[in-house]
Amino acid sequence: MRRFGGFEEKEVEKSEDRSGKGYRILVVEDDAVTSLFLHDMLRRLDHDVVALASTGGEAIRWAEAEQPDVILMDIWLAGPMSGIEAAGQIRQRLDIPVVFVTAHSDESTLRQAQATQPYGFVLKPFDQNDLRVAIEIALHKHRIDAQLRRSEQRFATTLKAIGEAVISTDARGVVDFMNGAAAALAGVAAGEAIGKPVASLLKLVDPASQQPLAVDQAWNGEAVLVDGTGREVPIVGSLANISTDRTEAAGQVMVLRDITEHRRMVELRERQRIEEIIAEVSEAERRRFGQDLHDGLGQMLTGVAFLCKTLEQKLAGKSQQESDEAKTISKLLGEALETARELARGLLPVPAQADGLVLALKSLADQITSQFQIECEFLDASSVRISDPGTANHLFRIAQEAVNNAVKHASPQRIDICLQAADATGCLTIKDNGRGISSAASGRGSGLDIMRHRAAAIGGSLRVSADPGGGTVMTCFFPFNHD
């Protein structure tokens, strides 16, 4: 026997011939006759009555213990807690639909009951069909609400996770949703923004006219966001009205993205593009000037030196003074010719032949050894031959810059230059045993930007790393055709 509010009733038995289509229902009714009436009616409808409660406290305890599908609750119950209060607590603690069963239909009672957001009302007296319809509608609404909550939770989680700033406002322009990205952009805590006018949190300014943009009108494009502290952030985004069946908007949704980093990258790429153009133009002009020195001035000086030598020979048997002057002129012309050739070699370091790069790199190594007393060796590991003059020149300039950097900044005792190839990839490596290069310097500066531009110009890449044994290793990988 169970005792419900002083009323004894036999243990509720489950129907032996249930079809499995019924629901588990908790009945909360302080009138014993009505309680049994409901119990019998529910059994005839093939439902399982999990318990009969007569007070609000019992209703809460049975609801927590049995987790029924639906609760039939009398509005006014004996004891200190009414059905309305019990339904309110059940709503706060449990996700169980409540249907009120009552003989009271006055406005005040209904208003109090509606505050607990019940899933339906059954007015006494009622019949079996009234009860069946009320239960089915309540459970259907509950399923729809559960689906809606899951959808809203999924949507809210998605909005919180995305990188774009999302702000939603009601028809008055008051924030009712703000994700983390939007809070960071506006410089506020997301929780603090809820309930505040969006205009008090941020301002959008047209970058062209410098005029404020309305935050309650549809908009799409770039703007400057000004937060509450006056900080300006370039953004791109859109503002759309939330449409309803009515003509007026029910609110707005703003989607914004901070483009500060994007602009920085665009500016960086543009600067790199300009630097590459300047490097290409400079290299082309250097080659032209070197060619002019070699083919123009060099040939002229060679001709003049030949004539001067002839004159020197003619004057040898005549005036000693004139002969000596001719010798001096011939010597100076020879020195001028050698200077012109050295200038031409500096401007055109790679001879226009298949092994020109190999010869130029070997000459560079010999020059470093001779000029700085640093052991510098070139190794042509794979007999690499570069037929394209542009590629050969870029590779030489990379090696030259790397070697010069090592001499200037690393104080090495030895520098190795290696040119090799495997499959379709060539590799130029410059390794020194100096004091190494810092992680900061390996990113930018020290001519690295220009070297990277040169590597990119031939479809390659540059890598700078510290050698485990000390010093720095600079490697340029580039496409290589063995043919």
pLDDT the model gives residue 91: 86
What is each CA distance from 288 to 72, 79, 293, 347, 465, in whole angstroms?
Answer: 97, 105, 9, 9, 35
Give percent of the chain with pLDDT exceeding 70. 84
163-258 has which fold?
A: Beta-Lactamase (3.30.450)
Give percent of the chain with pLDDT exceeding 90. 25
Mean pLDDT within 87-95: 88
Q: Is the pLDDT of residue 472 over 90?
A: yes
Q: Is the pLDDT of residue 21 over 60?
A: yes
Q: pLDDT tens-digit profile of 204-230?
A: 888 888 888 887 778 888 999 888 788
Mean pLDDT within 122-137: 87
Q: pLDDT tens-digit profile of 418-460?
A: 999 988 899 999 999 998 866 545 555 557 888 988 898 899 9
* Nearest CA-CA partner of 365 in 421, 428, 415, 405: 415
pLDDT the model gives residue 19: 40
Contacts of residue 268, Cβ cutoff 8 Å, sequence gap at least 6: none
What mean pLDDT value characterizes the chain?
82
User: What is the rounded CA–CA span in Å between residue 386 and residue 400?
Assistant: 17
Strands 425-432 and 472-479: antiparallel
Q: Is the pLDDT of residue 370 over 60?
A: yes
Check: CB of residue 419 under 8 Å from CB of residue 391: no
User: What is the rounded CA–CA span in Å between residue 408 and residue 360?
Assistant: 21
- The three-class DSSP label of residue 355 is coil
Strands 70-74 and 24-28: parallel
User: What is the rounded CA–CA span in Å between residue 419 and residue 361?
Assistant: 9
Q: Is the pLDDT of residue 20 over 60?
A: no
Cβ count near 17 (within 10 Å):
5
Q: Is the pLDDT of residue 27 over 90?
A: yes
Check: CB of residue 308 under 8 Å from CB of residue 323: no
pLDDT the model gives residue 426: 92
pLDDT range class, residue 417, cuts 50, 70, 90: very high
Q: Is the pLDDT of residue 16 over 50?
A: no
Angle at alpha carbon of residue 219, lines to 217 and 225, rounded to 5°: 100
- Tokens 């966001």 locate to 225
pLDDT the model gives residue 324: 78
Q: Is the pLDDT of residue 293 over 70?
A: no
Q: Is pLDDT larger for residue 293 or for residue 316?
A: 316
pLDDT the model gives residue 18: 40
Locate all alpha helices (DSSP H) within 23-127, ordered by sequence: 32-44, 56-66, 83-93, 107-114
User: What is the rounded CA–CA span in Å between residue 292 and residue 214?
Assistant: 64
Mean pLDDT within 336-356: 73
User: What is the rounded CA–CA span in Å between residue 69 and residue 273?
Assistant: 68
Cβ count near 86 (within 10 Å):
27
Q: Is the pLDDT of residue 473 over 50?
A: yes
- Tokens 């070297």 locate to 451
Mean pLDDT within 100-106: 75
Mean pLDDT within 473-483: 88
Q: Is pLDDT larger for residue 171 or for residue 21?
A: 171
Q: What is the CA radius of gyration of the chain?
A: 45
Q: Is the pLDDT of residue 321 over 90?
A: no
pLDDT range class, residue 65, cuts 50, 70, 90: very high
CATH number of this structure's domain 356-479, picked from the four choices 3.30.565.10, 3.40.50.1220, 1.20.1440.230, 3.40.50.970: 3.30.565.10
Q: Is the pLDDT of residue 2 over 60?
A: no
Contacts of residue 120, Cβ cutoff 8 Å, sequence gap at least 6: 99, 100, 134, 137, 138, 141
pLDDT the model gives residue 268: 82
Q: Is pLDDT larger for residue 48 or for residue 111?
A: 48
Q: pLDDT tens-digit profile of 133-143?
A: 989 999 999 89
Q: Is the pLDDT of residue 63 over 60?
A: yes
In the β-sheet with 425-432, what is the strand arrangement from edge to edge? 375-380, 414-422, 425-432, 472-479, 461-466
pLDDT range class, residue 17, cuts 50, 70, 90: very low
Q: Is pLDDT larger for residue 441 or for residue 83?
A: 83
DSSP string, 359-389: HHHHHHHHHHHHHH--EEEEEETT------H
CATH number of this structure's domain 2-157, picked from the four choices 3.40.50.620, 3.90.1860.10, 3.40.50.300, 3.40.50.2300: 3.40.50.2300
Strands 232-241 and 251-258: antiparallel
pLDDT the model gives residue 350: 82
Best-predicted range by mean pLDDT among 96-105, 135-144, 180-189? 135-144
DSSP string, 124-153: SS--HHHHHHHHHHHHHHHHHHHHHHHHHH
pLDDT range class, residue 6, cuts 50, 70, 90: very low
Which run of H or of E encompasses 100? strand 98-102
pLDDT the model gives residue 48: 92
User: What is the rounded CA–CA span in Å between residue 37 and residue 31?
Assistant: 10
Q: Is the pLDDT of residue 161 over 70?
A: no
How large is the greatest C-alpha to C-alpha distance in the chain, in angstroms?
Answer: 154
Q: pLDDT tens-digit profile of 232-291?
A: 899 898 888 877 666 666 788 889 988 888 888 888 888 877 777 777 777 676 667 666
pLDDT the model gives residue 345: 62
Cβ count near 148 (within 10 Å):
10
